[in-house]
Chain A
Amino acid sequence: MSAGTAPRRGGFGRLLRAEWTKFRTVRGWVLGLAVAPLVIVTLGLVSASGSHTSCGGPYDVCPAVPVGPGGEAVDDKFYFVHKPLTGDGSITARVSSMTGHIRKPDVTPGVRNEVDGVVPWAKAGVIVKDGTRQGSTYAATMVTGGHGVRMQYDFTGDMAGRPGGVSKDSPRWLRLTRSGEELTGYESADGRHWTVVGTARLAGLPDTVQVGLFVASPGDLTVQQADFGGSIQAVRFTEAIAVFDQVALEGRTSGGAWERDDIGVTLEPDGAPHHPGGFAQSGDTYTVTGVGDIGPTGEGQRIESTLSGLPAGLIVVIVAAVMFVTAEYRRGLIRTSLLAGPRRGRVLAAKATVIGTVTFVAGLAAAGIAVVVGTRILRSNGNPVLPVSTLTELRVIAGVAALLAVAAVLAFALGALFRNSAAAVTVAVAVIVVPHVLATTSVLPLGAAQWLLRLTPAAGFAVQQSIPEYPHVLAYYAPSAGYYPLAPWAGLSVLCAYAALALGLAVVRIRRRDA
């Protein structure tokens, strides 16, 4: 290759180097991408240190949130009537009635407004559990208030059986058999013909387990609009009362009486249980009353709450990314750039690569510091932070860096498309940041908020959601509560698609039009 002919290969590498040189020598651009992480980290840490939780009591320490076998925070609160079982065996019981009470919002202030009824996820059935410790491994077959027969295990597992509730005329027989680590749930409408509801493998289930009857009834949820925007969720007391009979145990169980435990019951300051469950036996009929729930919980702070500075940081990134291209047009540098690299699409691609990469690195540092340090501050202030796996934490950090990078590419492409900073910044902010702010501050109705986060580039924010939705747990699954309508990577893909589209249009435009 002679010195006179420009090397064709590696041309993109040279373009990249040229664009990187341009980027690092313009003070404003470097400053912009230094300010963005600073904004994200500062706002995140300030809001984390302003968040305190205290639970009163002599030591002012909040009780630890139980953690399930999968590492997630769980609710494990129910009335448990049990006996030890060693080795393999089974329990069978018939549920012939399920009733209960639900406390509704007070109609006249100060007067308790309680109605009869069971909430849809009230549960009554047979259970095998590794002892009475909250969060220990379990499997259960149950009748629910409104979701038919289910088999659930280890808090996150849920399998559906026959729909419909129970009554005196149509009782339901439930059975759970243990064989090693394998638990199988059965149901029957007549006690003779059995169908399998599901099978679960409980890793590390010890030889001796507790087997018995249980009842739980999660609180009734009402959601109200708050004065400053946002929503107020109230969970009110409910209880479920189930009647069991024809209880039969197989295997090596103790012959003694049933033990009773109100697992996870909260105690009043004087030591009396608050909303206790109960157990009554008459002949072979057992009536069990239970309050609470067995399942994963979303109550508590999340690691992504330390990323409150993200929208503000995103605006800074957008401004810097737009200026990275519009400044070239304003100063006429673009003509020099295109003279040196006549293949215009490649020049644009090189610029997009540089701005995307630089933003990703800056975003990685920002999100890493905000999440890791912010979570630590939250915990030291006594806030219960929902535990997540390291993999999820890494996904949140890397995903947020990718969100910033792809948003920068989108803003850059809009700048190249419009060649006008004001228009490009406005459109970028209007499609990326504003839908997210509108959707998460719940000024919009829930449905509209969810559609915004499916259709607009703001869908990319889904990548920061660390706690998944569980269909078998009643909660307010709304953007304002941190639940996005799309899965993390699906949301980010929507943003990527918009960025690719805008970049494609920008390439077409720069090829067709004079610079």
Chain B
Amino acid sequence: MRRHLSAEWTKLRTLPGIGWLLLAVVTLTPAASAAAAAVVSCPPAGCAYDVPKLSLMGVQAGQAVVAILAVLAVTGEYGTGLVRTTFTAMPRRVTVLTAKAAVLTGVTLSAATGAVLASVLAGRLILAGNGFVPEHGQPLLSLADGPTLRAATGSVLYLALIALLSLGVAVAVRDSAIAMGIVFGLLYILSALPLMVSDPGLQKLLWQISPMNAGLAVQATTRLSALPLSPWAGLAVLAAWAVAALLCGGLLLRTRDA
């Protein structure tokens, strides 16, 4: 397994554009968060914003880059034909996939940690300037606050799970265009579906099974009782999607020619 890990690490490290993609995760996420924080303000009478969620809004943009990273880690190998060399050297395909997933998770976790910390910092600085101050009934954003810490940690895990979901999809379809299409459909289209139906029961169900809506529940810190899922249960739904995608990809990987 150690050799597998080392091989996957070498391949990921030398993936064309990997540096740019990681840089994009670490900069785009806080930039989008800062943009979201810059357009809201809190009047002296107080306001009803979910501040931690607001400052982590950039995760919704950063996840797209994480998905590209994960998809390219697989399809790059198929595009160049390197995958045949890999499987000749290491014939246990599921172990290869496990090692790839582990390395990708590690890389995503570290990039996501940087991105989320930068988002929280940007949110704290910008929101304080827009009236989100203790005098207006809004304590400053701080990771010492339990729910805020949970939202931040959960966002890091969310991005890692998005990487695993994308990895599973990419292994299953082996083409970067189709894989990106499926991942974006699962994330953005499924998240908008609850708004297109009028039946409240169906609306709730669609919200609960949408990987993005459910997964981002981990960022919520206010009005938790109004959410269809508790924060960690929401993240568990996304985890289930990731596991299902990986299982599907792993199964196809075993049974199909490379």
- A interface, CB within 8 angstroms of B: 43, 47, 50-52, 227-230, 308, 311-312, 315-316, 318-319, 322-323, 326, 330, 420-426, 429-430, 433-434, 437, 440-441, 444-445, 447-448
Contact = CB atoms under 8 A, between A and B. Distances in A.
Contact of A52 (B178, B180, B198, B223): B198
Contacts of A312: 185, 189
B177 A322 contact: yes
20 contacts: A50-B197, A52-B198, A227-B226, A228-B207, A311-B189, A311-B192, A312-B189, A319-B181, A323-B175, A421-B175, A421-B176, A422-B75, A422-B179, A425-B180, A425-B181, A429-B181, A437-B188, A437-B192, A444-B39, A445-B39
B199 A326 contact: no
Contact of A437 (B68, B176, B191): B191
Contacts of A318: 181
A319 B196 contact: no
Given A422-B176, A429-B180, 12 more contacts: A308-B196, A311-B192, A315-B184, A323-B178, A422-B72, A422-B177, A422-B179, A425-B176, A426-B64, A426-B65, A426-B67, A429-B181
Given A47-B197, A50-B198, A330-B79, A421 B39 contact: no
Interface of B: 36, 39-40, 64-65, 67-68, 71-72, 75, 79, 175-181, 184-185, 188-189, 191-192, 194-199, 202-203, 207, 213, 223, 226-228
A444 B35 CA distance: 11
Contacts of B226: 227
Contacts of B227: 227
A7 B100 CA distance: 54
Contacts of B188: 311, 429, 433-434, 437
Given A228-B195, A230-B195, A441-B195, A323 B189 contact: no
A229 B195 contact: yes
A430 B180 contact: no
B184 A50 contact: no
| Residue from A229, A425, A440 whose CB has the most chain B CB atoms within 10 Å | A425
Contacts of A447: 39
A404 B180 CA distance: 18
Main SS at interface, chain B? helix
Nearest to B181: A319
Contacts of A421: 75, 175-177, 180
B198 A426 contact: no
A434 B192 CA distance: 10
A454 to B, nearest CB: 15
Contacts of B36: 444
A154 to B, nearest CB: 32
Contact of A430 (B64, B176, B223): B64
A426 B177 CA distance: 9
Contacts of A433: 184, 188-189
A319 B180 contact: yes
Given A315-B185, A422-B75, A323 B177 contact: yes
What 9 A-B pairs are tightest by C-beta distance, nearest first? A421-B177, A319-B181, A422-B176, A425-B180, A308-B196, A421-B176, A312-B189, A323-B177, A429-B184
Contact of B198 (A51, A227, A316, A440): A51
A366 to B, nearest CB: 16
A437 B65 CA distance: 18
B63 to A, nearest CB: 11
Contact of B68 (A50, A227, A426): A426
Nearest to B16: A420
A312 B195 CA distance: 14
B181 A47 contact: no
Nearest to B40: A445
A231 B179 CA distance: 33
| Residue from A51, A312, A433 whose CB has the most chain B CB atoms within 10 Å | A312
Contacts of A441: 191-192, 195
Contacts of B180: 319, 421-422, 425-426, 429
